[in-house]
Amino acid sequence: MYFTARQVLSNIFHVQLQVSDIEKKFEQTRREKLREAKLAYQKLVQEKRLAASLARSQAPVFKKVGKQIMFKSPPTKFEVIDKDANWKEDWQAEAMKVYGYVPENLAPTEKTEKNKLLPQL
C-alpha cells in the first residue's frame, strides 16, 4: 500500500496536533499538581503560625523587673584648657574614667592653655 505525499503530510500534521494536545494536557496536570502542593504547603505554614500565636497568647506575661541600666552619655563638645606636652593622653584617660570609652567624634580642641577639661555651655 502506497501513500501519496499529500496523505503523508496530512497524517504527520494530525499526529503533530495529537502530540501537542497530549503535551498541553500533561503541562496542565503538572501545573495543577504544583498548585495543589503549594496550597497544601501554605496551609501547613499558616497552621504553624496559628499554633505559635496561640502558644504566645496563652504563655504567662514576661514582665521586666528592676530599673533599667542607663549609661551616662558624653557631653556634646569639649574644650581643652592649658595645653601641655601630654594633654591628649590626659583627656583620653579622663574620658576613659568617666565614660568607659574614648569618644572619637568628641576630640578636644586646642583653644586655650589650661589642662582641665570642661564641657562647653
What are the average pLDDT values for consecutive 10-residue runs of the chain, which has 121 residues? 75 83 94 96 96 94 81 67 67 76 62 49 44
**8 A C-beta contact, residue 82 and residue 115:** yes
Domain range for 109? 78-119
The pLDDT of residue 45: 96
Query: Is residue 68 assigned to a domain?
Result: no
Same domain, 37 and 89: no
Query: Is residue 13 assigned to a domain?
Result: yes
| Residues 65, 71, 73: CA angle, nearest 5 degrees | 150
Q: Which grid coordinates belong to 119?
A: 564641657
Q: How far apart are CA 105 and CA 5, in angstroms?
A: 90
pTM score: 0.40
The pLDDT of residue 115: 45
The pLDDT of residue 2: 74
Same domain, 2 and 57: yes
Please give the tally of structural domains in the chain: 2
Same domain, 3 and 58: yes
Beta pairing partners, 118: 79
Last residue within a domain, chosen from 35, 63, 91: 63
Buried/exposed code over 3-21 (b: 16+ C-beta within 10 A; e: otherwise): eeeeeeeeeeeeeeeeeee
pLDDT in tens, 47-78: 999 999 999 999 998 888 888 777 777 666 66
**8 A C-beta contact, residue 93 and residue 61:** no
Q: Considering only CA atoms, give the Rg of the chain.
A: 40
